Amino acid sequence: MSATAAATGGDLTDKQRRILQYLREQAAMKTYFKSRLIGEELGLSAKEVGTNMTAIRDGEFDVEVEKWGYSSGTTWKVTV
Protein backbone atom coordinates (compact mmCIF):
# COMPACT_ATOMS: atom_id res chain seq x y z
CA MET A 1 0.00 0.00 0.00
CA SER A 2 1.32 3.44 -0.84
CA ALA A 3 1.93 6.12 1.77
CA THR A 4 -0.90 8.18 0.28
CA ALA A 5 -3.37 5.29 0.51
CA ALA A 6 -2.32 4.67 4.11
CA ALA A 7 -2.70 8.32 5.06
CA THR A 8 -6.16 8.53 3.51
CA GLY A 9 -7.32 5.16 4.78
CA GLY A 10 -7.61 3.59 1.32
CA ASP A 11 -7.95 0.01 2.59
CA LEU A 12 -10.35 0.80 5.44
CA THR A 13 -14.06 0.08 5.62
CA ASP A 14 -16.55 2.94 5.77
CA LYS A 15 -16.86 2.59 9.56
CA GLN A 16 -13.09 2.60 9.98
CA ARG A 17 -12.73 5.68 7.77
CA ARG A 18 -15.41 7.48 9.81
CA ILE A 19 -13.65 6.61 13.07
CA LEU A 20 -10.27 7.68 11.67
CA GLN A 21 -11.69 11.00 10.47
CA TYR A 22 -13.31 11.59 13.87
CA LEU A 23 -10.00 10.89 15.63
CA ARG A 24 -8.11 13.20 13.28
CA GLU A 25 -10.54 16.03 14.02
CA GLN A 26 -10.68 15.50 17.78
CA ALA A 27 -7.10 14.46 18.65
CA ALA A 28 -5.85 18.05 18.48
CA MET A 29 -8.16 18.90 21.40
CA LYS A 30 -7.90 15.77 23.54
CA THR A 31 -5.90 12.56 23.88
CA TYR A 32 -8.13 9.92 25.47
CA PHE A 33 -11.31 8.55 23.90
CA LYS A 34 -13.82 5.99 25.15
CA SER A 35 -15.26 3.58 22.59
CA ARG A 36 -18.73 4.31 23.92
CA LEU A 37 -18.41 8.06 23.37
CA ILE A 38 -16.94 7.68 19.87
CA GLY A 39 -19.84 5.37 19.08
CA GLU A 40 -22.39 7.88 20.34
CA GLU A 41 -20.91 10.55 18.08
CA LEU A 42 -20.84 8.30 15.01
CA GLY A 43 -23.98 6.21 15.51
CA LEU A 44 -22.06 3.02 16.28
CA SER A 45 -21.99 0.69 19.26
CA ALA A 46 -18.96 0.63 21.57
CA LYS A 47 -18.26 -2.90 20.34
CA GLU A 48 -18.27 -1.76 16.69
CA VAL A 49 -15.83 1.01 17.56
CA GLY A 50 -13.52 -1.36 19.44
CA THR A 51 -13.56 -3.92 16.65
CA ASN A 52 -12.79 -1.32 14.00
CA MET A 53 -10.13 0.51 16.01
CA THR A 54 -7.83 -2.49 15.58
CA ALA A 55 -7.39 -1.74 11.87
CA ILE A 56 -6.60 1.89 12.67
CA ARG A 57 -4.23 0.95 15.50
CA ASP A 58 -2.39 -1.59 13.33
CA GLY A 59 -2.30 0.58 10.20
CA GLU A 60 0.12 3.32 9.22
CA PHE A 61 -1.84 6.54 9.60
CA ASP A 62 -1.19 10.09 10.75
CA VAL A 63 -2.65 9.23 14.15
CA GLU A 64 -1.20 6.79 16.66
CA VAL A 65 -3.73 4.69 18.57
CA GLU A 66 -2.98 2.73 21.73
CA LYS A 67 -5.42 0.68 23.80
CA TRP A 68 -5.13 2.40 27.16
CA GLY A 69 -7.71 1.34 29.73
CA TYR A 70 -10.53 -1.11 30.30
CA SER A 71 -12.43 0.07 33.37
CA SER A 72 -16.00 1.01 32.49
CA GLY A 73 -15.29 0.50 28.79
CA THR A 74 -12.23 0.65 26.59
CA THR A 75 -10.25 3.88 26.48
CA TRP A 76 -7.96 4.68 23.58
CA LYS A 77 -4.95 7.00 23.70
CA VAL A 78 -4.71 8.88 20.41
CA THR A 79 -1.82 11.11 19.42
CA VAL A 80 -1.11 12.97 16.18
For residue range 30-68, list pLDDT tens digits in order: 999 999 999 999 999 999 999 999 999 999 999 999 998
Q: Inform me whether the pLDDT recorded for 12 exceeds 50.
A: yes
pLDDT at 70: 75
- Alpha-carbon distance of 80 to 73, in angstroms, equals 23
The whole-number pLDDT of residue 4 equals 42
This prediction has a pTM of: 0.83
What pLDDT score does 6 carry? Answer: 47
Report the run of H or E that residue 14 belongs to, with start and end. helix 14-26
Contact (CB, 8 A) for 63 and 30: no
Assess contact for 76 and 32: CB atoms under 8 A. Answer: yes
**Cα separation of 13 and 11, whole Å?**
7
Domains and CATH numbers, the chain: 3-79 (1.10.10.10)
